[in-house]
Structure 1
Amino acid sequence: MNKELFFVNEEMCKLLTGNQGSVDSIPVPDLYSSHEEADSRIILHCMYASQQPTTEIVIVRSTDSDVFLLLLSFSDAISKLLIFDNGNKNNRMQLDINDLAATMSKRLRYAIISLHNFTGCDSTSRFAGKG
């Protein structure tokens, strides 16, 4: 069975394909990025995956709320069914991002991610001390 794995190292991305003990490495220039945060690079990878003719569903597995909010905000740019797989072990759930996004205006989704950047990102957890 063929296996595929995208390997990211700094700005470069390569597709590693394996079949019967051999591995090939193919550069993927469309996924080269200078983003340092993996959260935002996930969006780039989702957009790329959704443009591939064999892709039916894009599933992102993460426990990070940043990833969830980014997926919600950028769901319009991902043209396939988008699922957020969250949790761990026996306590997991899958959320249909497309359905959730359809219940909100684009303006609201952008406002949520903007507010999250101000109050809930990794370096700032509250309003205290904000002028």
Structure 2
Amino acid sequence: MIHWTPRAEFLDNTNNKSELIHLRSSTFRKHNITVEQCDNDADTSIVREALATATDDSVEVRAEDADVLVMLVHHIPSTNHPLFFTTSKGSYDVRRIREALSERERCYLLFCHAFTGCDTVSAIAGHGKTTLFDRFCAGDIDEHVDIFLDTQATKDAVIQAGTTIFQYIYHAPGIHGYEPVPTLDPMAPEELLQFTSCNCNGDCSNSNGDCSNRRCSCKRNGVKCISACGVCKGISCKNCGHDGGESGEDSEIDS
């Protein structure tokens, strides 16, 4: 019996993801397609390889991540061959995007994108990226933005510059007008703080029934495995919540 699993849940399982990467990589290599496998986030590697290849030939980068586009626009040299960034919404000429920006906008592009929200930074409440980009490039806070671009800047200098920039965003009156206030709210709802998960490498079944050998913390506590479990993700073990049958309308099948 085939158990259909939504794509997000399937890829959330580290074993599934590793096997899929291995399968696709080996298939590409059989067709003489160069593959570079990244251990962590691939954005920087994608940009580096695209720019290197564009010195000899035209390149199309297919991705849905704005971080990749921003880095391409910032780093692409004027001597490169055509480089296009393609998403599900269309294809964009990276050089034309760069040429449409002023020198100041090109200089501050990476900072503005990272500071206003990216893969690793939360967005700024109540302020959109475009509006903040225009304000940052207006020239009012250049000296503070430049600190973020200075690789020799100290931690204290970056903190002070960041605080000043937030004051500028929210029109706060001076350093004492904008002070961080620790929250008194709990980190998360109590029911989330109390859940149990495991990191078993087996099937979590503990079928021998011997309580002394129950290494699965979920099984030991009498609960089903969940998506927070390190390996099985509540999907690929005998202690998961589903009954092993086919899923209903919410399932996603990729052809």
Specify the alignment match of 2:100 in structure 1.
103
What is the distance in 1 between the residues matched to 2:64 and 2:91? 11
**Closer, same or farther: CA 43–78 of 1 in aligned 2, 3 Å:** farther
After superposition, where does 1:1-40 map in structure 2 within 5 Å?
A: 3-10=31-38, 36-40=40-44
Cα distance change of structure 1 residues 10 and 84 upon mapping to structure 2, 3 Å threshold:
closer
- Superposition deviation, residue 3 in structure 1: 3.6
Percent identity, aligned pairs only, is 24
Q: Could you tell me how far apart the structure 2 residues matched to 1:78 and 1:45 are?
A: 16
Correspondence list, 1:15-94, <5 A = 36-52=40-56, 55=57, 57-76=58-77, 79-87=80-88, 92-94=89-91
Secondary structure of the residue aligned to 1:95 is strand
Residues 1:37 and 1:77: Cα distance change in structure 2 (over 3 Å): farther
Tell me the secondary structure at the aligned position of residue 5 of structure 1.
coil
Deviation at 1:10, TM superposition (A): 4.7
Structure 1 contact 61–86 (Cα < 8 Å) conserved? yes
Is contact 2:38–2:45 with CA below 8 Å preserved after alignment? no
Whole-angstrom CA distance in 2 between matches of 1:80 and 1:43: 14
Q: Which runs of 5+ in 2 are unaligned?
A: 1-29, 126-161, 164-255
Deviation sequence 1:66-112 (CA, Å, 0-9, x none) = 1111111112267110111012xxxx311111111111134312312
Q: CA RMSD in A?
A: 2.4
* d(CA) in 2 for partners of 1:81, 1:98: 7
Give 1 or 2: higher helix fraction: 2
Higher share in strand: 1
Number of aligned residues? 98
Q: Which runs of 5+ in 1 are unaligned?
A: 12-35
Partner amino acid for 2:59? V
Rounded Cα–Cα distance in structure 2 between residues aligned with 1:38 and 1:70: 12
Distance change (3 Å), C-alpha of 1:10 and 1:41: closer
Larger Rg: 2
Normalising to structure 1: TM-score of the pair?
Answer: 0.63
Q: Which has the higher contact order (CA 8 A, sep 6+)?
A: 2
Preserved CA contact (<8 Å) 1:50 1:78: no
Scaled by the length of structure 2, the TM-score of the pair is 0.34
